[in-house]
């Protein structure tokens, strides 16, 4: 559940989600769930010319299983908190 909690902290920040089909979408993280499905708002496709069908998509739901990377804002992660949480998770608590 660590990454679920982690992504919940990022809600409201701008992220770029790169999918396994190479489509990369930038948008405001609206919500995330246990499968790491992601909902984005105010989306913009990084390579718009290559994906004309995405022109009028403003909000979208991305299935967690097709995500390759989530690019985060540089200030989006507090490494110390993440380390602590990781150790806690590793101990099973």
Partner 1 sequence: MSWPGQEDVFFSTSLASYLDKKLLVLLRDGRKLLGILRSFDQFANVVLEGAHERVIVGELYCDIVLGLYVIRGENVVLIGELDPEREELPASMTPGWAIQRGDLKDCFFPFFFQAQKAEKEASDLKGTMRKRMEFLDLD
Query: Are 41 and 26 within 8 A, CB to CB?
Result: no
Select from 55, 29, 32 the least CA-distant residue to 40. 29
Burial of 29 (0-12, 13-18, 19+ CB in 10 A): buried
Cβ closest to partner 1, residue 13 vs residue 87: 13
Burial of 85 (0-12, 13-18, 19+ CB in 10 A): middle
Q: Does 27 bind partner 1 (CB under 8 A)?
A: no
Q: Does 38 bind partner 1 (CB under 8 A)?
A: yes
Q: Does 91 bind partner 1 (CB under 8 A)?
A: no
Binding letters toward partner 1, positions 40-79, x by CB under 8 A: ---x--------xxxxxxxxxxxx-xx-------------
Can you tell me which of 9, 10, 18, 31 binds partner 1, judged by CB under 8 A? 31
Chain residues in the site for partner 1 (CB under 8 A): 19, 21, 23, 25, 31-33, 37-39, 43, 52-63, 65-66
């Amino acid at each position: 559940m660590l990454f679920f909690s982690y992504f919940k902290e990022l809600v409201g920040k701008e992220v770029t989600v790169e999918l396994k089909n190479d489509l990369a979408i930038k948008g405001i993280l609206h919500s995330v769930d246990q499968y790491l499905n992601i909902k984005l708002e105010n989306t913009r496709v990084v390579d718009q010319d290559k994906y004309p069908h995405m022109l009028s998509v403003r909000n979208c739901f991305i299935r967690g299983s097709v995500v390759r990377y989530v690019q985060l804002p540089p200030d989006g992660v507090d490494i110390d908190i993440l380390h602590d949480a990781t150790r806690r998770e590793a101990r099973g608590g």
